[in-house]
């Protein structure tokens, strides 16, 4: 049982460090009892994002940060160079629906990519949906996109200002006219069409306007919407009043026979249910795969049978065939056995399966038939990341995308029968990528684990121990860090830096075992891996501790916050972005409860001591010289609420000793990152690189 104690307010005095005056941040003497341990939380009042006091604090902090950044002599030069590098046409891989090919394109500096379509990929294309027209500030972004089988109707979702909340709209693709149908209060899902009459979707009840960006989300439901009817008449297809914190996602097999319900209690572990819509006797969902100790997903059906990707008795995943009439696990039949490499996903196209694996964090794709017979390994251009291996069953070709740290995204056409890939389109940016080199190295972590890391730098690098390094990592939620091109990171390499990406435990690079080695009571392994990566780069004379910067976002923001509090001596610059920084209260906001399967919860006597031991906010210490720190967040972040960053910044400014600046940059009309307008992305990148380069002692190179 936890108890709260409140004491009189205290005001912090104005601090001056290296001519920086941080805003006055008052303290509320709040103490909470966690299983006999009293924990102070003096900045809890900053959790109220609607209060006038919090808004005034945000303005005061941004004023200090802007003043500091404006004094960096080459900040504007960095921004201009980034704009120049960004300003080239960027294309998405085409996909066919009905009589049209659809593809995304950004001319260069458009705030949002535009969805185009054409009947002939060699001919002219027309604008289908331009999200830039939905907001003068470019803060409306397209999300999920779903077409009917004949391509005559399209449902698409729109989110604004970076929020996870989205609205679903419906368009007649022949006339491009919007239908009156509109669905509100959806998150993390789109529309699953049943014929042309309607679609299934998941949504929450309408939230309170003041707390919609911070209140815990509960009681998600699955609905069926019939076209031409108002949302209030939508039929509830599934709900679970006994488990208010479960997520429910729905999808249909391509032949629209099976309606699949995916149930999760968080970000790890799932349960599968199904309805055979061809069977009028089945009016309710039936259990297919019991949860929640494994991860499973339906790939497609083969007549009466379902093909399922699962890690049950296969930490690297395998594909099994399940007869839904006899779904017990002892009746499963293996279609594609578990491999040495971790299976990341399986797509379908032209009557074939396309299994995407990771080999030391790089893509490997294998084509199978529906009987599990291997057809071929798909030849990829190099060691990088390839995605987009899927299309309709009647298609003969499809388009996929390939990129690496040193190779901008290129689109290839794939012939399903011959297995030949042909270059369709490649990027033409204003940068000589031939000067970029990527190498993969392996180092040993604290407990002896061998961990991979990608290093990208310019040709001719000298290992003299004096190169600036930006070390990036994530390490969680089964998400791998794979090679991919970034204009922003290429800029840093162009300026003489080394961009290093660590494949930390907690991701899926080596399957579920790698994931579990970095979650719950094993989370410290992730931080140890990151620290060991920095020590390796120093020992191997790539850099030194005064030339080392670290950066990460979301769970990666937690990573940066944890290692900078554990080893403040090892890094010169720290950039925690939209980070989970208060590990005792994250579960109390929006969808944070869903992360307890990854982190554990401070409400548990088992997990509280472990979380308290590494929680960045709680492990800052008075009088410590911390790295030069730029915390970034968005005022509309309803994934990781900005209170995490607010509280961490306030305490860091209170405790930090020394000349290094400790600042927070709070973006307005921005969220967790998805859908952020190009203009805001460039401005943020310019500020981050200016801060990083200035504090690493780098000079701007024209």
Q: Is residue 404 annotated as part of the catalytic site, yes or no?
A: no
- Per the CB < 8 A criterion, the answer to whether 268 and 478 are in contact is yes
Here the tokens at position 585 are 């209260």
Phi, psi of 496 (to 5 degrees): 100, 10
> Pick from 168, 238, 239: which is nearest to 198 by CA?
168
**Spatial separation of the C-alpha atoms in residues 246 and 319, rounded to whole Å:** 25
Which residue is associated with the tokens 């940060």? 65
Q: Is the dihedral of CA 212, 213, 216, 219 positive or negative?
A: positive
Here the tokens at position 258 are 């099976």
**Spatial separation of the C-alpha atoms in residues 280 and 424, rounded to whole Å:** 46
Cα–chain center distance at 548: 24
Catalytic, out of 157, 214, 445, 554: 554
Phi, psi of 314 (to 5 degrees): -160, 85
Q: Is the dihedral of CA 414, 418, 422, 424 positive or negative?
A: negative
Alpha helices in 45-105 (DSSP H): 52-70, 75-86
Alpha helices in 434-523 (DSSP H): 487-494, 511-516
Q: Is residue 146 annotated as part of the catalytic site, yes or no?
A: no
- Whether the upstream peptide bond of residue 292 has omega within 30° of 0, thus cis, is yes
**Spatial separation of the C-alpha atoms in residues 304 and 286, rounded to whole Å:** 15
- Per the CB < 8 A criterion, the answer to whether 552 and 560 are in contact is yes
- Per the CB < 8 A criterion, the answer to whether 140 and 133 are in contact is no
Here the tokens at position 255 are 């032949």
**Spatial separation of the C-alpha atoms in residues 655 and 647, rounded to whole Å:** 12
**Spatial separation of the C-alpha atoms in residues 311 and 530, rounded to whole Å:** 27
Rounded to 5°, the CA angle 17-682-570 comes to: 45
Catalytic, out of 618, 636, 656, 672: 672
Rounded to 5°, the CA angle 211-242-222 comes to: 70
Phi, psi of 522 (to 5 degrees): -105, 10
**Spatial separation of the C-alpha atoms in residues 307 and 332, rounded to whole Å:** 10
Three-class DSSP labels, 25-39: CCEEEEEEEECCEEE
Rounded to 5°, the CA angle 476-482-483 comes to: 150
Cα–chain center distance at 97: 27
- Per the CB < 8 A criterion, the answer to whether 552 and 473 are in contact is yes
Provide CB contacts within 8 A for 418, sequence distance 6+. Answer: none
**Spatial separation of the C-alpha atoms in residues 397 and 414, rounded to whole Å:** 5
β-bridge partners, 182:
169
Phi, psi of 203 (to 5 degrees): -160, 165
* Active-site residue set: 554, 672
């Amino acid at each position: 049982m936890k108890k709260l104690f409140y004491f009189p307010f205290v005001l912090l005095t104005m601090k001056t460090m290296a001519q920086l005056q941080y805003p006055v941040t008052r303290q509320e003497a709040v103490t909470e009892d966690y299983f006999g341990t009293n924990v102070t939380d003096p900045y809890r009042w900053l959790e109220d994002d609607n209060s006038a006091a919090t808004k005034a604090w945000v303005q005061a902090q941004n004023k200090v940060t802007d003043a500091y950044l404006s004094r960096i002599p080459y900040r504007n030069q960095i921004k201009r160079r980034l704009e120049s590098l960004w300003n080239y046409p960027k294309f998405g891989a085409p996909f066919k629906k009905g009589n049209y090919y659809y593809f995304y394109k950004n001319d260069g500096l458009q705030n949002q990519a535009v969805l185009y379509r054409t009947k002939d990929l060699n001919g002219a294309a027309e604008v289908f949906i331009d999200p830039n027209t939905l907001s003068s500030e470019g803060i409306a972004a397209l999300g999920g996109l779903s077409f009917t089988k004949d391509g005559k109707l399209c449902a698409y979702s729109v989110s604004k200002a970076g929020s996870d909340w989205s609205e679903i709209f419906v368009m007649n693709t022949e006339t491009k006219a919007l239908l009156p149908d509109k669905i509100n209060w959806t998150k993390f899902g789109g529309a699953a069409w049943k014929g042309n009459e309607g679609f299934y979707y998941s949504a929450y009840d309408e939230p309170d306007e003041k707390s919609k960006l911070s209140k815990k989300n509960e009681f998600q439901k699955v609905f069926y919407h019939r076209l031409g009817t108002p949302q209030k008449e939508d039929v509830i297809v599934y709900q679970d009043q006994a488990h208010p914190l479960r997520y429910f996602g729905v999808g249909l097999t391509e032949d629209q026979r099976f309606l699949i319900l995916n149930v999760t209690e968080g970000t790890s572990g799932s349960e599968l249910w199904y309805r055979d819509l061809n069977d009028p006797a089945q009016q309710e969902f039936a259990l297919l795969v019991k949860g929640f100790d494994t991860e499973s997903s339906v790939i497609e059906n083969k007549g009466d049978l379902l093909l399922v990707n699962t890690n049950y008795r296969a930490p690297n995943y395998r594909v099994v065939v399940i007869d839904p009439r006899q779904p017990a696990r002892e009746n499963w039949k293996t279609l594609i056995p578990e491999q040495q490499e971790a299976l990341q996903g399986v797509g379908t196209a032209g009557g074939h399966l396309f299994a995407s694996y990771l080999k030391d964090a790089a893509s490997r794709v294998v084509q199978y038939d529906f009987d599990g017979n291997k057809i071929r390994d798909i030849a990829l251009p190099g060691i990088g990341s390839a995605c987009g291996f899927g299309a309709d069953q009647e298609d003969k070709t499809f388009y996929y995308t390939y990129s690496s740290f040193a190779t901008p995204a290129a689109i290839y056409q794939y012939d399903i029968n011959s297995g030949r890939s042909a270059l369709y389109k490649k990027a033409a940016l204003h940068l000589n990528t031939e000067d970029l080199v990527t190498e993969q190295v392996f180092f040993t972590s604290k407990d002896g684990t061998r961990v991979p890391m990608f290093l990208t730098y310019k040709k001719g690098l000298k290992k003299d121990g004096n190169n600036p390094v930006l070390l990036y990592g994530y390490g969680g939620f089964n998400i791998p860090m794979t090679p991919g091109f970034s204009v922003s990171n290429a800029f840093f390499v162009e300026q003489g830096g080394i961009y290093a990406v660590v494949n930390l435990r907690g991701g899926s690079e080596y399957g579920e075992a790698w994931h579990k080695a970095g979650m719950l009571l094993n989370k410290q392994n992730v931080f140890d891996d990151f620290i060991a990566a920095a020590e390796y780069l120093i020992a191997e004379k790539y850099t030194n501790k005064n030339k080392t910067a670290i950066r990460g976002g979301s769970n990666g923001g937690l990573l940066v916050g944890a290692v900078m509090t554990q080893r403040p001596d090892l890094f010169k610059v720290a950039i925690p972005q939209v980070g989970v920084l208060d590990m005792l209260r994250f579960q109390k906001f929006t969808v944070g409860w869903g992360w307890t399967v990854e982190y554990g919860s401070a409400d548990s006597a088992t997990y509280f001591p472990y979380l308290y031991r590494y929680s960045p906010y709680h492990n800052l210490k008075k009088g410590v010289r911390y790295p030069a720190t730029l915390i970034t967040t968005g005022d509309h972040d309803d994934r990781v609420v900005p209170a995490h960053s607010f509280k961490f910044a306030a305490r860091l400014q209170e405790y930090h000793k020394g000349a290094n600046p400790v600042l927070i940059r709070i973006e307005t009309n921005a969220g967790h990152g998805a859908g952020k307008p190009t203009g805001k992305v460039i401005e943020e990148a310019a500020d981050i690189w200016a801060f990083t380069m200035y504090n690493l002692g780098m000079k701007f190179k024209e």
